[in-house]
Amino acid sequence: MIPYKNMNLLSPIVSYDFGVDWIRVEWFEGETRTYRYSDTGKRNINRMIKCAKTGRGLATYIESNRDKFKPDSKKFWGFKFF
C-alpha cells in the first residue's frame, strides 16, 4: 500500500494501491475497500487514482459519489480471500 499524502491534513484515508482496473483504499478506522472498473466505472476509478496520486480530494470524491460506487464486498486484511 502507498501512504496517502493527505495534503489538507483532514482526510480519513491512510493509504491506497491501484492496478490497471482497480483502486484499493485503506481508511483511518482500518477498513479497506477495493473499487473496480466493472463496479464503479472506468472514469470514476481513473479520477480516484488521480486524486490518490496527488494526495488531495480522494475521500471527498468517494463520499460525494458513494451512491454510484459499489466497492468489493470482501474486505482486504493483508491476505487473499478464496
Confidence (pLDDT) at 68: 77
Where do the structural domains in the chain lie, given as residue ranges? 2-64
In this structure, what DSSP letter does residue 68 have? T
The whole-number pLDDT of residue 81 equals 42
CB 44 within 8 A of CB 65: yes
In this model, does residue 9 exceed pLDDT 90? no
pLDDT confidence of residue 66: 83
* Confidence (pLDDT) at 13: 96
Q: Which three cell numbers stand for residue 62?
A: 468517494
Identify any residues that bridge with 24 across adjacent strands, giving them in sequence order: 17, 34
Average pLDDT over the chain, rounded to whole? Answer: 86
Per-residue pLDDT tens over the stretch 15-48: 999 999 999 999 999 999 999 999 899 999 999 9
